[in-house]
Amino acid sequence: MSVFDDLARRVERWSALDRAADPLAAAVGRAARPGPVRDLLSGAVLGHPLHPLLTDVPIGAWTMAGLLDLVGGRAAAPAADVLVATGVAAAVPTAATGLHDWSDTRGGPRRVGLVHAAANSAALGLYTASLLARLRGRRTAGKALGLAGLGALTAGGYLGGHLSYVEGVSVNRTAWRRGPARWTDVAAAGELPEGEPRRVVAGRVSLVLVREGERVHALDSVCSHMGGPLDEGEVAGGCVRCPWHGSVFRLADGSVVHGPATSPQPAYETRVEQDRVQVRARPR
């Protein structure tokens, strides 16, 4: 285990962070209720988490500004200044989307995310000070502040990678779940109440069944966002709402109606044979 990974693991166990993280996450959750704003911040309108896309702009701009500061000479000074300003401007929406995604985490990931946000906030503050120093003609101070900001940005970026690639935050929780390709018996049609979700097992995955009239819908029961149990969710208007974070999926095809989920829910073909509901995976 590397020293950096060990440090990240220590942050995960630092329960004292909960005193600041939990109230902040609750406040963000109240501010970003399910609806257009939450759909925008999560990236539901794109079908992809928005925060990782936005991080490329400040990271790229500030990294190149640092390179120009070190080796670009006087001729590169205007370009370096523009890059610093670009990073400062892009950091604001990047932070907003990251704060939104972080508010849905719990435990270790929430603690790491808080330190990740603190490091990136420090980077933003240092680069803002760097920009002001550059505009006032204090280039040496501006460069020093920028390089300090790059150090904070690197620390924050490492923790962001830990959240994504070690903790699996914002990863599609259904990516490796695949039900049977052949028709499989899962339930008695007569035992399915109208409009009420029911959890069944098909092969190696669990599904949620919902009967609407003569039709039976089947979706993966694990929410693609954070793994919530859709079989415990609310069914209304041809959709099912996850009880954990409020993601809404269309029963007919699993498409995302409202975030924070960005990946559609795997939907299964269904049929009724001799009062038995059968399901099979749809062709990819």
Each residue's pLDDT, cut to its tens digit, for the chain (284 residues) gives 588 889 999 999 999 999 999 999 999 988 887 788 899 999 998 889 999 999 999 999 999 999 999 998 899 999 999 999 999 999 999 999 999 999 999 999 999 999 999 999 999 999 999 999 999 999 999 999 999 999 999 999 999 999 999 999 989 999 999 999 999 999 999 889 999 999 999 999 999 999 998 899 999 999 999 999 999 999 999 999 999 999 999 999 999 999 999 999 999 999 999 999 999 998 87
In the chain, DSSP assigns E strands to: 184-188, 198-202, 205-212, 215-220, 234-236, 239-241, 248-250, 256-258, 267-273, 276-281
Helix (H, G, I), strand (E, B) or coil at 118: helix
Alpha carbon distance 197, 228 (integer Å): 14
pLDDT of residue 1: 58
Sign of CA dihedral 272, 278, 283, 284: positive
Helix (H, G, I), strand (E, B) or coil at 186: strand
